[in-house]
């Protein structure tokens, strides 16, 4: 294992996000996680667990510059269940070997649409979403060289 230097840690400053092929330039943060569902299984006196499923959820945070996802909210109001694809890209100039990390998250279903602003403050919007974990694919990874 090679020694890690501080300049090789990655900065979100260089991150980019697309939704259905459109770059979301005002995106400031994305968080996506997969939660493993487990049930207890007792074997003798020991209690172990068995995986019974997994669930994907996340949040996309934007600074307000444009009206976003109103088409999705309108479709939901009409009883439709629109799904989309998020692609993330992290290409820090100091990344080992100039490598890039990219994820594709498919079957994205937004679950909340809010309106909030405050006088004298930058307007931020959060869009929670769900996705199927099998539709989260690592496209490019940053590996040790």
Task: Note the pLDDT tens digit of each residue in 74-125.
Answer: 999 999 999 999 999 988 887 777 788 899 999 999 999 999 999 999 999 9
For 38, list phi and psi in degrees, rounded to 5: -130, 150
Q: Round to whole Å and give the CA distance between 77 and 73.
A: 6
Q: Please check whether residue 77 lies inside any domain of the structure.
A: yes
**CATH at residue 89:** 2.30.110.40
Sign, CA torsion 113/15/12/120:
negative
Q: How many domains, the chain?
A: 1
Find, among 115, 123, 56, 54, the residue nearest to 83 by Cα.
56
Q: Please check whether residue 7 lies inside any domain of the structure.
A: no
DSSP string covering 113-141: ------TTS--EEEEEEEE-GGGEEEEE-
* Greater model confidence, 143 or 123: 123
Boundaries of domain holding 55? 15-35+50-140
Task: Note the pLDDT tens digit of each residue in 44-82.
Answer: 999 999 999 999 999 999 999 999 999 999 999 999 999
Q: Please check whether residue 91 lies inside any domain of the structure.
A: yes
How many Cβ atoms sit within 10 Å of the Cβ of residue 56?
Answer: 21
| pTM score of the predicted model | 0.88
């Amino acid at each position: 294992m090679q020694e890690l230097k501080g300049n090789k840690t990655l900065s979100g400053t260089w991150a980019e996000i697309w939704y259905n092929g459109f770059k979301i330039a005002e995106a400031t943060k994305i968080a996506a996680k997969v939660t493993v569902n487990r049930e207890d299984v007792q074997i003798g006196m020991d209690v172990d667990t068995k995986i019974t499923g997994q669930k994907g959820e996340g949040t996309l945070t934007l600074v307000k510059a444009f009206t976003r996802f109103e088409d999705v909210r309108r479709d939901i109001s009409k009883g439709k269940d629109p799904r989309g694809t998020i692609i993330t890209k992290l290409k820090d100039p100091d990344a080992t070997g100039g490598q890039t990390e990219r994820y594709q998250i498919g079957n994205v279903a937004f679950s909340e649409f809010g309106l909030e602003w405050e006088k004298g403050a930058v307007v931020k919007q959060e869009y929670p979403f769900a996705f199927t974990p099998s539709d989260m694919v690592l496209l490019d990874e940053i590996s040790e060289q």
